[in-house]
């Protein structure tokens, strides 16, 4: 194989109670990328459409992941990479993770599937260091494995794939405001009361159990975040109104996607997910803030060849 075109999904990290430990991948929103083997051993990014991102391989997560993998595999070829961004960086939907995971998946295909999904996640995490300074796994693991993932442990890395009920559909609103990662981090408490922690891990257990059993009521009851949401929602205009309107329209639960500003809701069935979209639209339409809405099933495959 000398060339591959891939789709790499947008991802929702945290998933309310799963703060810093869970993520899921969207089926119909994501980036496209083209990878061509070249004779020189260089990695060159020849095209980026849809976002203003660095072309230098060492400053672009796609370049960093590709360089690390080719070096590790002692490959006898280089790469020409084209990136087509379909959603904005800084949205809280894992833009850098889509590039990092898409690259890990594609380069692995060009290397005749040398690496496991766990190894690909580790390569993609090195890309996340370039994007945000830390090797976080929730977005990249979701984009590589597909469906819902649990980051059970970092050292050693342990990723658990959680089954996804096929009727589960996500609605996402991306208000086009900037939340600085620094600000989203600054508001987080360094310690939480034991009672809060107990509530949080009880809900994670409920969410995982609900996903396994396709128990939508349990999924809904468990989509509660007592740790990050109370302190971060103030950074997202109209968060409470979006949440209330989504639930009224039939959503199982609503939360902050990653560290925001995007807000996600999960619903049973596409019809309800579309009603939730209308409800979110109604909240934001007169806000004076530009926004984009998405409705998507959950990706069961993660990054894939197209």
Residue numbers of the site for ligand ADP (CB under 6 A)?
Answer: 53, 60-62, 83, 89-97, 99, 131-132, 258
Of 76, 62, 69, nearest to 33 (Cα)? 62
Q: How far apart are CA 68 and CA 188, in angstroms?
A: 33
Q: Is the Cβ of residue 77 or residue 84 nearer to ligand ADP in the bound state?
A: 84
Give the DSSP H or E segment for 256. strand 253-256
Least spacing, CB of residue 96 vs ligand ADP, in Å? 3
Sheet holding 253-256, edge to edge: 253-256, 263-268, 168-175, 291-297
Phi, psi of 164 (to 5 degrees): -115, 120
Least spacing, CB of residue 262 vs ligand ADP, in Å? 8
Q: Is the Cβ of residue 136 or residue 207 nearer to ligand ADP in the bound state?
A: 136
- 109 as an active site residue: the answer is no
Least spacing, CB of residue 185 vs ligand ADP, in Å? 12
Q: Is the Cβ of residue 54 or residue 163 nearer to ligand ADP in the bound state?
A: 54
Catalytic choice (128, 171, 229, 268): 128
- Output the residue with the shortest Cβ distance to ligand ADP: 96
Catalytic choice (27, 42, 167, 181): 181
Least spacing, CB of residue 97 vs ligand ADP, in Å? 6
Cross-strand pairs, 38: 78
Cβ-contact 298, 27 below 8 angstroms: yes
- 128 as an active site residue: the answer is yes
Q: How far apart are CA 162 and CA 213, in angstroms?
A: 11
78: helix, coil or strand? strand
Q: How far apart are CA 16 and CA 265, in angstroms?
A: 10
Q: Is the Cβ of residue 92 or residue 302 nearer to ligand ADP in the bound state?
A: 92
Active site residues: 128, 181
């Amino acid at each position: 194989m000398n060339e591959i075109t891939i789709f790499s999904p947008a991802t929702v990290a945290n998933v309310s109670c799963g703060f810093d430990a869970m993520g899921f991948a969207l089926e119909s929103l994501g980036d496209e990328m083209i990878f061509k083997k070249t004779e020189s051993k260089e990695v060159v990014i020849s095209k980026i459409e849809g976002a203003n991102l660095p072309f230098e391989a060492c400053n672009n997560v796609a370049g960093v992941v590709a360089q690390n993998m080719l070096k590790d595999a002692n490959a006898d070829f280089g790469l020409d990479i084209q990136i087509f961004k379909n959603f904005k960086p800084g949205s809280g939907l894992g833009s850098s993770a889509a590039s990092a995971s898409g690259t890990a998946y594609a380069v692995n295909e060009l290397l005749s599937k040398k690496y496991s999904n766990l190894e690909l996640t580790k390569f993609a995490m090195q890309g996340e260091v370039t994007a945000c300074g830390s090797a976080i796994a929730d977005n990249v693991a979701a984009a590589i494995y597909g469906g819902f993932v649990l980051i059970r442990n970092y050292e050693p890395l342990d990723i658990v794939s959680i089954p996804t009920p096929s009727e589960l559909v996500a609605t996402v609103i991306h208000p086009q405001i900037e939340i600085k990662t620094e600000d989203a981090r600054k508001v987080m408490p360094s310690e939480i009361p034991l009672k809060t922690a107990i509530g949080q891990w009880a809900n994670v257990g409920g969410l995982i159990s609900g996903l396994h059993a396709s128990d939508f009521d349990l999924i809904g009851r468990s989509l509660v975040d007592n740790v990050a949401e109370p302190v971060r929602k103030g950074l997202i205009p109209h968060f409470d109104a979006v949440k209330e309107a989504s639930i009224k329209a039939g959503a199982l639960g609503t939360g902050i996607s990653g560290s925001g500003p995007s807000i996600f809701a999960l619903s049973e069935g596409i019809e309800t997910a579309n009603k939730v979209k209308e409800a979110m639209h109604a909240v934001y339409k007169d806000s004076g803030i530009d926004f984009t809405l998405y409705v998507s099933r959950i990706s069961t495959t993660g990054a894939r060849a197209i």
